[in-house]
Amino acid sequence: MPSYSDLLSSLSPQADGAITVTIPESWMQGRTTYGGLTAALALESARTLVDDIPIRSAQVAFVGPVGGDIRMVPTLLRRGKNTAYVSVNTLSGEQVMGQCIFAFGKARDSSLSFNDMPMPDVPAPETAPSFFREGPRPGFTQHFNMKGVLGQPPISGSTEPTIGLWMRHKDDKAPQDATAVLAIGDAPPPAAMSMFKIPAPISSMTWMAEFMTDDIRTSPEGWWFAQHTAQLAKDGYSSQSMRLWNSGGQPILVGRQTIAVFV
């Protein structure tokens, strides 16, 4: 079963600047590749054009099912003194199935510095139960350890629109970098799924992620804490906020996601 680091090492640059890779079945989420992996591999391809400036934000559109042999085409949109922008189209066959825009920015001196993103007071991951109940679970989640500490599991009829869980890569060789954060940041199910009373499909449409620091690090055990809150569900769509901290409580990422729900 190919690990996250196995997939990174299998990325194959082509003469025209594209990057190719084959997505194994174990990384699928239904009929498409797990969205966090799609975003992470796109960021790795963008890094072939900009490898000397920290990533600041990612805007991801999950246009259609991604799987099997895929081709990622990075394009440098603009590079200035401190910032750079790269778009990446992910293609299955000749069709664009994913589109990303990454913004990179150098750190600079500023008189403005504050942090209004305290991490919730939650139990340590060592004492927390598995987030998933016994029974079927999305195939890609076998690559992560996930411990629930806030809210309820999916399809539990909860009245709470918030979930919180500890997560880490099972792959000991996974680097502690921004790409690995994207690869795990989308792993929790949408918070609205905890409110489902019966199983029903969902589909991520867009994901926006902002990196709060270029110092990407966590504990030696590799844990990250994620809190997702569904803020609106209407007309078959749910909008949620996403926040992620390292194990020391430093904010690493904030994001928003639009999800289509079929219940």
Mean pLDDT of the chain: 95
Single-letter code of the amino acid located at 243: R
* Percentage, residues of the chain above pLDDT 70: 100
| Alpha carbon distance 239, 191 (integer Å) | 9
Distances in whole angstroms, Cα of residue 75 to Cα of each of 21, 70, 258: 18, 17, 25
| Residue 113 confidence (pLDDT) | 84
pLDDT tens for each residue of 168-205 = 999 999 998 999 999 999 999 999 999 999 999 999 99
Whether the pLDDT of residue 136 is over 80: the answer is no
Sign of CA dihedral 115, 121, 127, 130: negative
| Residue 112 confidence (pLDDT) | 86
The C-alpha angle 215, 217, 219, rounded to 5 degrees, equals 155
Q: Which two tokens stand for residue 9?
A: 């090492």
> 229: number of CA atoms within 13 Å, CB side?
6
Q: Which two tokens stand for residue 31?
A: 């009929």
Whether the pLDDT of residue 69 is over 90: the answer is yes
Whether the pLDDT of residue 217 is over 90: the answer is no
49 by Cβ neighbours in 10 Å (0-12 / 13-18 / 19+) ranks as: middle
CATH superfamily of 4-106+123-261: Acyl-CoA thioesterase, double hotdog domain (2.40.160.210)
Check: CB of residue 117 under 8 Å from CB of residue 212: yes
**What is the band of 115 on the pLDDT scale with cuts at 50, 70, 90?**
confident
Whether the pLDDT of residue 135 is over 80: the answer is no
Mean pLDDT of all residues in 55-83: 97
**What is the band of 211 on the pLDDT scale with cuts at 50, 70, 90?**
very high
Check: CB of residue 210 under 8 Å from CB of residue 57: yes
